[in-house]
Structure 1
Amino acid sequence: MKKVLSNIFFTAMYQVVILIVPLVTMPYVSRIFGTELLGINSFVISIIGFLNMIILMGMSQLGTREIAKADKKDRGSVFFQLWFIQLASGLIVTSLYLLIVSFFVGNKGVYYIQIPYLIAYVLDISWYFLGIGEVKKVIVRNTIVKFGSLILVFLIVKSSSDLLLYMGINSISTFLANIFFWISLLKEFKAYGKIKKSFSVPYLKQALFLLIPLFAIQVYNTFDKTLVGLLSTKTELSFYDQSQKIVRIVLSIVTSISLVMMPLMAKVDTGDSEDSSKLQLLLKKSVEYTTLISLLLTVLLMCNSRDFVRWFFGNEFVPMTYNMIFVSLIIAPNAFGGVLANQFTLAKGLLKHYSIPFIAGAIIDVILNLILVPRWGADGGTIALIVTEFCVCIFRVYVIRKWLDLKDICSEFFKYTIIFVLILVLGFLIPNFVASLFLNMVIRSSIVFVVFLILIFLFQTNISKDFTALLNKVKKKT
């Protein structure tokens, strides 16, 4: 359990690190480039993100699961069987990308500068380290690279003419970070001796099957930005994209728990009654903690959005305030559904049941975007995203209803809903006490958090009982 908790912490740290560069630089670059140029950046990155999904071929899920299941002596062979699929996909995608940009696209510079990104995705083998539960040393190295790029942005990017420079720094830093994964990997493989390197057709079939839901995910996580950029203006796209960035960072922290728990869940034999009870308990605890944390973070983002947008992005981005308030609503259903999808459906290899919610979500999202974005721009895209996320969550629950006692897992949800409503109302009622926007957010967040803790114990939630039991245990030891 100690190792699991340690991995949760370091995986969460890694998720924060890979996003902290744009987070910290956002206030700076939003004032330098403005809404139009940032919209161009968002449009290009949305395309690269879509290609990333195709290159990785589901290795973040399939690779993590198969490496976790493999014996130590077989890890090297299993790794190369999986990575050769990623390599082949990367070569095809990169070649087609270069061909299309060279002959059919204008403003080629902003597209050519993304090539290191594509190569970085070919080299991305973080799934191997997630599978073996050893990520600490890699994270330290990647942190150095990422913060190096952060420093470069502040030192070199000085005016709106430096857009290509800014995009290049982000692209190349990702490439360098993924090279460090290989340094650690090759050192480990030296101890294994001779490793069989081959291409696996069975793994390819699984990867292609897994690509279907991932394609669907990208439709409303990345390609939706491409649609907004095509159907509306780049300024509207900038509002739509920037309002989501903070929410996505919060989500990456919450869902990192699922990424670490997935290898553990994959080892639980649901055919055994004792293991089945253990799985039910693990999922119940994971759902409760994840849901309650996500609801707290949702409230903090919603009630601070008005001050946060002005303080963080600048006055030019004030029109996107309501986008940020409402897009925060996707945190809870995404986090809750992610636990069920990653820790059960995917961990147990139920790829069909994993795929269905995403496919349905992609269809819903495309239809809603085509209807709402031309009329309401970023606001329409935000509405489409919220509806899609709630639909996907409902589908995720529905497809696994036969395997789990969902009534038991969700037994605390009524209490959580009341707590959420109470702290949300409180958060919006708290006025600004001082002139500083930042201090007002700190004060408001502190009050909401304290009341949140009080309500957890007042409603006698399972989480409050866990903390009470832990405190009693510590007292007995001392």
Structure 2
Amino acid sequence: MSVAKNYFYNVIYQIVILIVPLITVPYVSRVLGSGGVGVNAYTNSIIQYFILFGTIGISLYGNRSIAYVRDDKRKLSRTFWGIFLLKIMTVIISYMVFMIFMNFTHSEYKTIFLFQSIFIISAAVDISWLFMGLEDFQKTVTRNLMVKVIGVICIFLFVKTISDLWKYVLILACSELFGQLTLWFYAPKVIDKVKLSLYDIKRHLMPSISLFIPQIATQIYLVLNKTMLGALSNTNEVGYFDMSDKITKMSLSVVTAMGVVMLPRVANTFAKGDMKKVKDYLSKSFDFASYLSVPMMFGLVGISAEFTPWFFGPGFSKTGTLICVISPVIVFIAWSNVLGIQYMMPVGKVKQFTISVTTGAVVNFILNILLIRNFQSLGTALATVFAEFSVTAVQFYLVRKDIQFKHMFVDIWKYLISGVIMFVIVRLIGSDLGVGFKTTVTQIIAGGLAYVIILCLFRSSMNKKLIEVVLRKVKIVKS
């Protein structure tokens, strides 16, 4: 299946991820309030540590390993079962540690923690890495679409008051588990049953652990933010930050969808020894990431003042400020996704990738300690921005001898100027129309059109390619 088609499927899913929160977040934030939202975010952040230690980098390793052997069904089957059984063992150990944690903790959220632990079980049976390594994104997208729709319906049916927080958590957790189980219906078509020795399982342990180390570091500044904020501040502040983080990551998901698609493709190309093609993929992917992430950053800052009040409802005014502060991470993560996930990981530069994300984790941890007590969620937002910047900066430094950056930054000035002009237009519309749903829709449409038109004037090659693709699709539909 082509990169374009895989990206199309992944973007469909990412668009659904965008739409689902647009439907549920305004409802959930009003029903559960910042406190309820904060409790969910705080307890889930702790559960993520058990998932992280249970999966020890196996999913990422599995994706890459399947891509290496996908042309040989016997090797593919042996690799799959070896990796899967290893993960079952490590997740069981992690769940046992979780039960010990539950026995000794005196948290008021014990029931919520138990429902959140279903996510650990989901991680054990997750085989999405198999289909990603095979570049079969249609199955994972179809499964996720179905699960998301069912989840949304259940939230509106059963979550009515703040006392229904446990129902909200249970719906999210069961939806995840159900989604993972449905993928097993497709597995027999691509893998065979094979006899395994202990070696077939053990041989995947150390390579998985080598990918586990950077995932620990990444998790620190993705999840520890909320854990530290909850511990050093309060769950209301976690709620404010969680909502701003969700909106930013929703926007970013369309950009990082390319990373999920490109990792197995680059890994397979690297396995064949075609480094020229690997670098060509990298250059095009980086330009595409810049093309999308720059306007998203400016656009998010531009709409936040009029968007936050109607979307989140009363009590979330601070979230608008946090969105403005945290929005630069869209560009930083887009770039580090290309350099780290699409290049460093597939070509085996795991050590360099580990250094970059460990740097980000250290920066994030130190700044959280220094800033949270005085600035609360604003401090966490600032720590996140500096952490993501440091990850990207270190990655640029570490791959400087492998890649010619001048080819990747040829059109960046065009994106920045177009983004600034788009921001001015969006702010003028917001100031004139005021708070409201229609204002936000008008700002997004006008801003998007302005960005594309200005890039046409600048003769952006990426802009031209994408317009041509859209026009071809329109002609096909009409015919």
TM norm. shorter chain > 0.5: yes
Counterpart residue number, 1:215: 216
Counterparts of 1:271 and 1:154, CA distance in 2: 50
Counterpart residue number, 2:389: 390
Structure 1, 326-335 or 263-272: larger mean CA deviation: 263-272
Alpha-carbon distance, 1:467 to partner: 5.1
Kept in 1, the 8 Å contact 2:425–2:447? The answer is yes
Alpha-carbon distance, 1:216 to partner: 0.6
Q: Deviations over 1:350-396 (max 9, x none)?
A: 11011111000000000000000011000111011011111111111
Counterpart residue number, 2:402: 403
* CA separation of 1:227 and 1:177: change in aligned 2, threshold 3 A: same
Counterparts of 1:466 and 1:142, CA distance in 2: 29
Structure 1, 105-114 or 226-235: larger mean CA deviation: 105-114
Alignment of 1:296-445 (within 5 A): 296-434=295-433, 437-445=436-444
Counterpart residue number, 2:48: 49
* CA separation of 1:306 and 1:207: change in aligned 2, threshold 3 A: same
Counterpart residue number, 2:233: 232
Residue type of the partner of 1:102? N
Kept in 2, the 8 Å contact 1:138–1:184? The answer is no
Counterpart residue number, 2:445: 446
* CA separation of 1:473 and 1:379: change in aligned 2, threshold 3 A: closer
Structure 1, 277-286 or 212-221: larger mean CA deviation: 277-286
Q: Deviations over 1:296-331 (max 9, x none)?
A: 222221111112211111021012211012211110
Counterparts of 2:368 and 2:301, CA distance in 1: 23
Counterparts of 1:156 and 1:270, CA distance in 2: 49
Alpha-carbon distance, 1:434 to partner: 4.3
- Per the alignment, in what secondary structure is the counterpart of residue 107 of structure 2? coil
* CA separation of 1:113 and 1:269: change in aligned 2, threshold 3 A: closer
Residue type of the partner of 2:214? P
Counterparts of 2:235 and 2:306, CA distance in 1: 24
Counterparts of 1:288 and 1:23, CA distance in 2: 28
* CA separation of 1:60 and 1:299: change in aligned 2, threshold 3 A: farther
Counterpart residue number, 1:73: 74
Kept in 2, the 8 Å contact 1:46–1:223? The answer is yes
Q: TM-score, normalised by structure 1?
A: 0.93
* CA separation of 1:42 and 1:88: change in aligned 2, threshold 3 A: same
Alignment of 1:265-276 (within 5 A): 265-269=266-270, 275-276=274-275
Unaligned runs of 5+ in 2: none
* CA separation of 1:468 and 1:34: change in aligned 2, threshold 3 A: closer
Counterpart residue number, 1:87: 88
Kept in 2, the 8 Å contact 1:80–1:197? The answer is no
* CA separation of 1:197 and 1:175: change in aligned 2, threshold 3 A: farther
Residue type of the partner of 2:148? K
Alignment of 1:452-467 (within 5 A): 452-466=451-465
What's the Cα RMSD here?
2.5
Alignment of 1:86-235 (within 5 A): 86-107=87-108, 108-189=110-191, 192=192, 194-196=194-196, 198=198, 199-235=200-236
* CA separation of 1:445 and 1:139: change in aligned 2, threshold 3 A: closer
Counterpart residue number, 2:250: 249
Residue type of the partner of 2:122? A
Counterpart residue number, 1:29: 28
Counterparts of 1:441 and 1:410, CA distance in 2: 31
Kept in 1, the 8 Å contact 2:262–2:342? The answer is yes
Counterparts of 1:468 and 1:416, CA distance in 2: 16
Kept in 2, the 8 Å contact 1:7–1:260? The answer is yes
Alpha-carbon distance, 1:473 to partner: 9.5
Alpha-carbon distance, 1:348 to partner: 0.4
Alpha-carbon distance, 1:140 to partner: 2.0
Alignment of 1:8-23 (within 5 A): 8-17=7-16, 21-23=20-22
* CA separation of 1:348 and 1:437: change in aligned 2, threshold 3 A: same
Kept in 1, the 8 Å contact 2:42–2:230? The answer is yes
* CA separation of 1:17 and 1:460: change in aligned 2, threshold 3 A: closer
- Per the alignment, in what secondary structure is the counterpart of residue 422 of structure 2? helix
Alpha-carbon distance, 1:168 to partner: 0.9
Q: TM-score, normalised by structure 2?
A: 0.92
Kept in 2, the 8 Å contact 1:283–1:339? The answer is yes
Counterparts of 2:360 and 2:265, CA distance in 1: 28
Counterpart residue number, 2:291: 292
Kept in 1, the 8 Å contact 2:131–2:137? The answer is yes
Alpha-carbon distance, 1:257 to partner: 0.7
Kept in 2, the 8 Å contact 1:432–1:440? The answer is no
Unaligned runs of 5+ in 1: none
Alpha-carbon distance, 1:20 to partner: 5.5
Q: How many aligned positions are there?
A: 473
Alignment partner of 1:64 is 2:68: no
Structure 1, 301-310 or 10-19: larger mean CA deviation: 10-19
Kept in 1, the 8 Å contact 2:298–2:423? The answer is yes
Residue type of the partner of 2:404? D
Alpha-carbon distance, 1:211 to partner: 1.0
Kept in 1, the 8 Å contact 2:26–2:313? The answer is yes
Residue type of the partner of 1:343? Q
Residue type of the partner of 2:410? S
Kept in 1, the 8 Å contact 2:159–2:168? The answer is yes
Alpha-carbon distance, 1:276 to partner: 3.2
Q: Deviations over 1:176-217 (max 9, x none)?
A: 11111222213433xx35453654333211111111110010
Alpha-carbon distance, 1:245 to partner: 0.4
Kept in 1, the 8 Å contact 2:295–2:415? The answer is no
Kept in 2, the 8 Å contact 1:114–1:171? The answer is yes
Alpha-carbon distance, 1:120 to partner: 0.4
- Per the alignment, in what secondary structure is the counterpart of residue 113 of structure 1? helix
Kept in 1, the 8 Å contact 2:18–2:251? The answer is no
Counterparts of 2:157 and 2:272, CA distance in 1: 58
